[in-house]
Structure formats: structure tokens, C-alpha cells
Amino acid sequence: AQSVAQPEDQVNVAEGNPLTVKCTYSVSGNPYLFWYVQYPNRGLQFLLKYITGDNLVKGSYGFEAEFNKSQTSFHLKKPSALVSDSALYFCAVSSYTGGFKTIFGAGTRLFVKA
Amino acid sequence: GAGVSQSPSNKVTEKGKDVELRCDPISGHTALYWYRQSLGQGLEFLIYFQGNSAPDKSGLPSDRFSAERTGGSVSTLTIQRTQQEDSAVYLCASSLSLAGGGNEQFFGPGTRLTVL
């Protein structure tokens, strides 16, 4: 069965420090991997995606993510966190195996402290 | 250009009543998706449309849920005989196409459904 795991409910980081939000997945076939962000009282917004090619993908607001096939991971990173990065982050995987489906992780709440 | 819009933004209903939720996708987007987000939970994939067709309805939680899309644009999600466990935020998203599954989805603001 396809699944996405975000092992941390919450990540706390000080402003200016690097941040990592973890995501691992289990899917048959080639996965399409995404990160979305949900700011308070706002809808979900696309951050970045991995389809194929370079394992390091760059996205909006200075975020990047590294696809690691052997570890089936797609961790979200940013070199220097901002207070405004505080939000709920979702990892998602789309796959055609057994019919098209997009599976979202449970979400990780990021708190960046000034 | 306009994003994905959903109506109503909030809906309070009594248990046993039917409700209809509407989604207007971004113009030109052929793929449309419905999700449910319960309090403190992630997103639960309900159904997708490619054009007007919904090839897989297995994600719908029960036969009280149905969805349709006409004219390749607006979609409605109908919940019959609502139950308290149906209370959640219902999110709609659209993307350019489903082809390859690699298109990012653009989300609407959601409809918050409360069943009393």
C-alpha cells in the first residue's frame, strides 16, 4: 500500500538556523513527490516537486528538498529559517500504480522562534 | 488570474440533511481533486476527475458521498444524510492535467462543514 510518513508532528528551530522537515514514502513504481505549505487561515500552497532528474530540487521561498531513492526519503530543507516560515508543511506523493492517487502525510508544524 | 474557488466557505447543517459543496477550478485545468481534512489530521484523498470522468470512486468514505463534474469545469460534492463524523474541511484542487501525475495541485480555500 502507498503511504507517506512525516515522523515529526512539530519541529522547532531558531531564526537563522537551518531547518529540516522529514518525509519518507512507500510507493510502487516511480513516485512524484511534492511539498505543500499551509499558512494560518490560508489555503495549501505548492512549494516544490520532484519528478525526475536532479535529486536536489529548489522551490519557493528558499526551500529545497533532496530525493533519496535508497532511503525513500524526500526531506524539506532551508539553510536559514525565518519566523515567517512558521506553518504546517505537508509531504505528498502521486502515483499511478493501482489507479491514480495522491497521498498526503499527516503534516509537520514548524515553529521558528525569533 | 483567479484561483480555485469554493462555496460556501462555511456550512452548518443538521444531522440527516443533504449538503452540496461547489468547486470552481482554475480555467483551463482539466484535472480536479477533492480532499477532506479533519481537525488535526492530514488530507484524505476522496476523488479525482480527469475532464468530466471520475475513473475511481473508491476513495469516497461511503455511498452517501457522490461527486460530479459537468462541462469539464465546476464540480459538486454531495453528502447525503450527513453524520457528525462528516464534519471537516473539504478541499478542492485543480491541476493542468493528470498526465504523468507530476503536475502540482492548486488548492481552494476549502469549505468548513459542521454537522450538528
- Which residue of B43, B106, B110 is in closest CB contact with A90? B43
CA B51/CA B33 separation, integer angstroms:
11
Contact B81, B64 (CB under 8 A): yes
**CA of A80 vs chain B CAs: smallest distance (Å):** 25
Interface residue of B104, B107, B111, B112 to substitute, partner A, most A CBs within 10 Å: B104
- Which residue of A43, A105, A107 is in closest CB contact with B108? A43
Q: What is the pLDDT of residues A30-88, one digit of tens each?
A: 789 999 999 887 889 999 999 888 899 999 999 999 999 999 999 999 999 999 999 99
Are B42 and A96 a contacting pair at CB < 8 A? Answer: no
Q: Is A105 exposed, middle or buried (0-12, 13-18, 19+ CB in 10 A)?
A: buried
**CA of A91 vs chain B CAs: smallest distance (Å):** 10
| B98 contacts in chain A (CB < 8 Å) | 100
Q: What is the pLDDT of residues B2-22, one digit of tens each?
A: 899 999 999 999 999 999 999
Grid cell at residue A1: 500500500
Pairing between strand A101-104 and A73-78? unpaired
| A104 contacts in chain B (CB < 8 Å) | 35, 42-43, 45
- The residue to which cell 525526475 is assigned: A52
Predicted confidence band at B75 (pLDDT cuts at 50, 70, 90)? very high
Contact B110, B5 (CB under 8 A): no
The predicted structure's pLDDT at residue B101: 67
Are B106 and A46 a contacting pair at CB < 8 A? Answer: yes
Highest mean pLDDT among A26-30, A87-91, B102-106: A87-91
Q: Is the dihedral of CA B25, B110, A25, B58 positive or negative?
A: negative
